C-alpha cells in the first residue's frame, strides 16, 4: 500500500533521511521506532505530503506521489489520516468543532449527519459527550484521542499515529494501544505508528522497523526485534546509555559541513 524507495530529505545542510526504504502492506500495523530527533515525524510528513522529499520515490496505492501537485495530492490525502504528536487541535474551537472541521470543509453533509458522525467517532475513542469542551480543558491523553476521532470522521484507509502514547500514564497508554488494535481489526485500516514507547510497539505491531541515521536499520516481528542480536537495536530497546549509539551521534552524522 505504501512503498518508499531511496528517500532523501535534508533541511539546509542537515541530512535527516538518507536512502530510506520502507514497504507497508495493506492492513498491517507497522511501528517505526527510533531515537528522538532521528526523523520519524519528518518521514511521516513526507508520506502525507506536508513535507516534500529532496529525492526518492513514495508510492501510495501504486501512485507515485512525490511528483503530484497539491490538488492531486489532496485526493490521495483523503485516504489518509494523521494523529499528530501533540494532537494539533484548534485551541479556539471546541471538541465538536475540531472533530467536524474537516467534514465541514470537504464533505457535503447536512448538520444533523455531521453531528451524528462526530458523536459516533467520539464514542469510538471512548469520549462520548465532550463536544462542548475546549482543548485547554482536556488532558494530553484526551487530546490525542480527540485527534484520533477527527481522523476517524474521514474514514481513512491509512492512519498515521505520531507518538500516540507518549506523555500519557500507563493505563491511558494501554487504552490507546487497544484502540489502535481495535481499529485495525474493525475497520481493516493500515496503520503506521511512530513511537519510542517500546512496550506499545510490541503490543500493537505486526512489524517493527527501526529508523537510525537516516534509514531503516532493522525490521522484524515484535518477537524478532525482542530477540535481536543487532547491537544498535538491542541498545535502543533495552534503553542502555552504553553501546554503539552515542550521545553525540548527530554531531558525527547529518551535517555535511
Ligand X SMILES: Nc1ncnc2c1ncn2[C@@H]1O[C@H](COP(=O)(O)OP(=O)(O)OP(=O)(O)O)[C@@H](O)[C@H]1O
Which residues of the shown chain bind ligand X in the complex (CB under 6 A)? 11, 16, 34, 36-42, 85, 163, 196
- CB of residue 197 vs Mg ion: minimum separation in angstroms? 12
Task: Give which of ligand X, Mg ion, none residue 196 binds (C-beta under 5 to 8 Å, depending on kind).
Answer: ligand X
- CB of residue 48 vs ligand X: minimum separation in angstroms? 13
43 versus 218: smaller Cβ distance to Mg ion: 43
Task: Give which of ligand X, Mg ion, none residue 39 binds (C-beta under 5 to 8 Å, depending on kind).
Answer: ligand X
Does position 41 interact with Mg ion (CB under 5 A)? The reply is: yes
Using CB under 5 A as the criterion, what x/- string covers residues 48-77 for binding Mg ion? ------------------------------
Task: Give which of ligand X, Mg ion, none residue 144 binds (C-beta under 5 to 8 Å, depending on kind).
Answer: none
Kindly state the cell numbers that stand for 212: 537510525
- CB of residue 19 vs ligand X: minimum separation in angstroms? 16
- CB of residue 203 vs ligand X: minimum separation in angstroms? 19
The whole-angstrom separation of Cα 75 and Cα 149 is: 21
Residue nearest Mg ion, CB atom distance = 41
- CB of residue 91 vs ligand X: minimum separation in angstroms? 21
By CB under 5 A, name the binding residues for Mg ion. Answer: 41
Amino acid at each position: 500500500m505504501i512503498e518508499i524507495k531511496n528517500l532523501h530529505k535534508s533541511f539546509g545542510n542537515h541530512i535527516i533521511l538518507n536512502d530510506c526504504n520502507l514497504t507497508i502492506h495493506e492492513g498491517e500495523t507497522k511501528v517505526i521506532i527510533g531515537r528522538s530527533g532521528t526523523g520519524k515525524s519528518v518521514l511521516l510528513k513526507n508520506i502525507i505530503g506536508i513535507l516534500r522529499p529532496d529525492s526518492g520515490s513514495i508510492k501510495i496505492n501504486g501512485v507515485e506521489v512525490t511528483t503530484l501537485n497539491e490538488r492531486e495530492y489532496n485526493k490521495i490525502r483523503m485516504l489518509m489520516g494523521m494523529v499528530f504528536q501533540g494532537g494539533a487541535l484548534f485551541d479556539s474551537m471546541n471538541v465538536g468543532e475540531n472533530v467536524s472541521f474537516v467534514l465541514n470543509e470537504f464533505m457535503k453533509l447536512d448538520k444533523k449527519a455531521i453531528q451524528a458522525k462526530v458523536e459516533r467517532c467520539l464514542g469510538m475513542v471512548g469520549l462520548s459527550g465532550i463536544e462542548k469542551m475546549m482543548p485547554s480543558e482536556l488532558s494530553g491523553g484526551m487530546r490525542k484521542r480527540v485527534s484520533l476521532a477527527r481522523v476517524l470522521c474521514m474514514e481513512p484507509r491509512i492512519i498515521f499515529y505520531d507518538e500516540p502514547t507518549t506523555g500519557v500514564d500507563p493505563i491511558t497508554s494501554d487504552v490507546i494501544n487497544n484502540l489502535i488494535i481495535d481499529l485495525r481489526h474493525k475497520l481493516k485500516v493500515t496503520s503506521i505508528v511512530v513511537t519510542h514507547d517500546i512496550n506499545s510497539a510490541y503490543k500493537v505491531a505486526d512489524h517493527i522497523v527501526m529508523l537510525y541515521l537516516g534509514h531503516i536499520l532493522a525490521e522484524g516481528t515484535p518477537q524478532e526485534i525482542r530477540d535481536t542480536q543487532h547491537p544498535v537495536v538491542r541498545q535502543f530497546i533495552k534503553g542502555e546509555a552504553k553501546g554503539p549509539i552515542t550521545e553525540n551521534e548527530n554531531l558525527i552524522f547529518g551535517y555535511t559541513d
